[in-house]
Amino acid sequence: STTEKPVLLNNIADAEAFVSGAEVAVIGFFQDPQSPEAEQFRLAAGQIPEVPFGLSSSAAVLSHYGASANTVALFRRVDNDRRDLDMNNRDVDAKKLTRFVRMNELRLVTEYDPVTAVGVMQSSLEFNLLLITDKMSPKHPERMRKFRAAAELYKGKILFILLDTNLKSNERVVSYFQLKKSQLPALAIFHTPDDEHDVLTPDEISIERVQDFCNRFLQ
């Protein structure tokens, strides 16, 4: 899109609409929108086109979010969480800011890799549901559509994660659940506080099957 990033948020209503309008949203709170910190923020915004970035220098907005000047806040809808990064620290630049967003941007379905792993581990949600599958499979788009639809039903309860078996770094996870290639795609649900888990190897992924599996485990 050709819209100017970041979006200027001049009042609380704008800011609230901005946050609620996306799965993941980032707001930079800067008293001086021309400061070097705000400049780094703009650079980072340009590097992450799929995440909306907003900027506010309104005292009312800063106070509404309890944010001090030169703070960047990432809001995520999936677990209703917020992560803050202090930009007053001189060595926080666009690169560090980009990494901060990448690490913390959990979505309805988060793809698991070494960077998102950090956000997944730190999520307040205790239940994780993994779809362990081959992203190259011709059936992948349809599987993802159903998995996403199921994720909508468990927002704020279960973190839905896509684990691509083509990524070498994911082999450890697959072996943890003692799954063979021939058993995939598989669903694995996990309760982080006690490592309790369950695995399902369905012939096909359907919304009903995902629901049934989740509900049984939650009970």
Q: Is the residue at 2 inside a domain? A: no
Q: Are residues 130 and 180 in the same domain?
A: yes
Q: What would the pLDDT profile of 13-55 be if each residue is shown by its tens digit?
A: 999 999 999 999 999 999 999 999 999 999 999 999 999 999 9
Q: Which of 104, 126, 153 is the last residue of a domain?
A: 104
pLDDT digits (tens, 9 = 90+) for 123-162: 989 999 999 999 999 999 999 999 999 999 999 999 999 9
Residue 1 lies in a domain: no
Residues 19 and 94 in one domain: yes
Residues 88, 183 share a domain: no
Answer whether residue 119 is part of any domain. yes
Within a domain: 136: yes
Is the domain of 113 the same as that of 196? yes
Q: Residue 89 CA to chain centroid, in angstroms? A: 25
Domains identified in the chain, total number = 2
* pTM (predicted TM-score): 0.85
Q: Evaluate whether residue 18 is within a structural domain.
A: yes
Q: Residues 170-212: pLDDT tens digits?
A: 999 999 999 998 999 999 999 999 999 999 999 889 999 999 9
Q: Does residue 163 have a pLDDT over 70?
A: yes
Same domain, 116 and 205: yes
Q: Are residues 37 and 62 in the same domain?
A: yes
What whole-number percentage of the chain has pLDDT above 90? 86
68 and 140 inside one domain: no
In this structure, are 100 and 121 located in the same domain? no
Looking at 104, 119, 149, which one is the last position of a domain?
Answer: 104
pLDDT computed for residue 217 by the predictor: 97
HEC string of the chain? CCCCCCEECCCHHHHHHHHHCCCEEEEEECCCCCCHHHHHHHHHHHHCCCCCEEEECCHHHHHHCCCCCCEEEEEECCCCEEEEEECCCCCCCHHHHHHHHHHHCCCCEEECCCCHHHHHHHCCCCEEEEEEECCCCCCHHHHHHHHHHHHHHCCCCEEEEEEECCCHHHHHHHHHCCCCHHHCCEEEEEECCCCEEEEECCCCCCHHHHHHHHHHHHC
Average pLDDT over the chain, rounded to an integer: 93
Query: How far are the Cα atoms of 26, 41, 136, 164, 175 from residue 15, in angstroms, in the given order?
Result: 10, 17, 39, 35, 44
44: containing domain: 7-104
Task: State the pLDDT at residue 2.
Answer: 44
The pLDDT value recorded for residue 4 is 66
Instruction: Give residue-wise pLDDT tens across range 63-80.
Output: 999 999 999 999 999 888
Domain stop point among 59, 74, 104:
104
Strand 7-8 with 53-56, pairing: parallel
- Return the CATH number at 53: 3.40.30.10
In the chain, how long is the greatest CA-to-CA distance? Answer: 58
In this structure, the answer to whether residues 13 and 81 fall within a common structural domain is yes
Starting at the earlier edge strand, list the strands of the sheet with 158-164.
109-111, 158-164, 127-133, 186-191, 196-200
Mean pLDDT of 90-99: 90
Reported as a pLDDT band with limits 50, 70 and 90, residue 1 is very low
Residue 24 counted as domain residue: yes
